[in-house]
Structure 1
Amino acid sequence: MAQRHLDPTDPLAGPAPTGDTLAGYLRTQATEFLRALRLHRETGSGANGSEASVEAGRALRRSARRISAGLHTFQPLLDTDWCEGMRPELAWVSGTLAMEHAYTARLERLLNALHRLSGSAPAAGARADAAAGGRADVPAGARADLAAGSRAAGAAPVPTRAAPRRAELRNPPPPAQERGNLTVGAAKAGALLDRQLNLARTRAHSTALQALGSSRFHAIADKVAVLASEVPLTRAASTADLRPLAAAAKDRLADAVTALPLVTAGHPYNAAALIHGLSPDTVPHPQDAPWHHVRLLLRLHRYAREAVSGPKGNAVVDLRLLSAGQALNRHRDASEAAAAAAQAARTPRIAPATAYALGVLHADQRHEVEAARFAFQQAWQKEAEAVSTR
């Protein structure tokens, strides 16, 4: 049996951090929040906001998440009423500011998947167009047809990947007319997704602007400004050890991972993520919720490590946790993209070729969900092996 040793890179193994360490961490994150807010106001937040404004919005979300996570994990050491009042407000800020970016990234992901599934490379500038919330070229040379949504038959045909000779003998390629119909379906599917997600992105942008100018947000900013100088610790916090609370966050994560079907996820391409894929129910995929929950718990665990390490952010980055978090981020993105494709397929009176293309796109994203689960299982297995050898 391997002997257990303290890991010098684990912040939970160092000197006992106290409430003063937590206060320093929260003050640092509050200062980052105020700095990002000032930068966001200086760089502009209109429809043509600069890249600096976009980065300021990301910094606002990052600091809001970390403050909220600190209040959640270490609430016994903080004023209870203050925590319960601040956490929902910080979650509202982070969630509201994240929606525009989420719709933009989702559209880019789906349009790139359409190109890949059609066997064509995205046109130059498509990624930049999607990132800017503009029209993306799907497929190359058919932008005008895509925008019209009904003249795609005149678009340049999308080249298909060369199939193995043996496969051609078993499954001869479809006639040229059928290949053209598939091109029409992909183009119209892209146009439909472009309209729906760009509309949602525009609404999310307007909602974010209204939120940033609201009295509710100004009240939150005022409280964060107070937090930057005064943290509402309890009397016992000055001598309390942060490590048991941080360890509890780690244990909650481990318990949630244990409940996942990691044995199934350990086999790539098992298609478990496609179960219920044809269900008419429009609620989120029933299998995804536990994985999304693990993603949130993993984030709380990472932020707890940061808080325990001190306000200067001296926590050693654990590459295993980072890889696991990235896999769960991909899982979330693919799951939401599949839901967007399914929602578009429910649009009334769409052409059969369009519905077919959206169905293929939905299945592709659900396979991406399965691949992300496999990647998480591999990363978490390495984490478990590393813990067992300490």
Structure 2
Amino acid sequence: MTVTAPPNRKPRAPHRVPLWDNARWLAIALVVVGHGILPLIADSDAAYAVYLFIYSFHVPVFVAVSGYMAKATSPGTRQIKRLLTDIVVPYVIFETIWTTIRWLLGGQFVLDYATASWTLWFLIALALWRVLLPYLAVLRYPLIITMAISVFAGYFAAIDATLALSRTIGLLPFFVFGWALRQRQITGRWLALPPRVIWRWRAGALALFLALAVTIAVFIEPLRDLKVRRFLLYDEPYPVIGYPEWWAGGIRLGLMIFAMVLAIAFLMLLPRKPTWFTALGGATMYIYLLHSFLLFPLRETGVLDGPQPWWVLPGMILLCLAIALLLSQRFIRRVFRPLVEPRVTWLFRREAPPASTPKETLHLPPPVAPPGPPAS
């Protein structure tokens, strides 16, 4: 017997995978930590080591998670509206706010939406990545192609921060990488593995991160001299960094491949089941857009400039984690929703209902009566 659902039953909400919500929150928390300790790295090798460790994988993970959530289908009206309301309009709002803040602090009031302020580059990049993905998805080897484009783009000084083009192209492979993980159903395969196999992979992932941390700590001075940090930002051409040689692209390629390996290792170490921070994964955009306002005074006042006591670094890490936790709360979403998720229904024209087409009337000849019985 087949049982059918009632016709008025509401559609189910899309199923969320706890693993990816866990990844979203931890990745954005690391973003906050990286921005928070930035003023310390000039005079502290310990801060620089932590910074390099985080930046070796946290931005690729954050971009890959965004790619995993993206769709490669041809955008319809609903997708286009979401692109505008979720990315474009918030970018205009927050860029205007930052311009106003700089003006209040004594600068000129110049609205330059082509040059993103501080963290806002990600919104431009995300919009462009979503637009490009349907075109990249029809290629046979989209990941390899985007990696080649990213490496090749680093040789051209014309590809700069205008419309975040340097980072958009440089980090594009990680967005495609995240999308490819979903296409290959990696999450389902990982979640289906038995615990004894899971812990073997996690042991390898943990060993990889420990080896990375030790390597950075031992070779911190050479890494500083080699300007590895600037390669990890993907926002400058190689000659500007100080590498005009033809082989400079190999450095970006090597770091890119290593970052993808680290991203996989990072995902392996995450809990597969819901945790206390799983529900906070839906607040990543609030954390990303609002944390810079809380860190701005520390960045601009110079209170963290120069040598600092040993406890400042762990103190800043804890402060940044507290900021990420604070900005994940529901009351923050309620207060700042008009800025982060504005409802701009007035921006779109109303779609007229489809006009009813009158049914065509067919004038058929009257039916012919069948012949009666033969006369007797």
Which bracket does the TM-score occupy, shorter chain normalised? under 0.3
TM-score normalised according to structure 1 size: 0.26
Larger Cα Rg: Structure 1 or Structure 2?
2
The structure with the greater share of residues assigned to helix is 1
TM-score normalised according to structure 2 size: 0.27
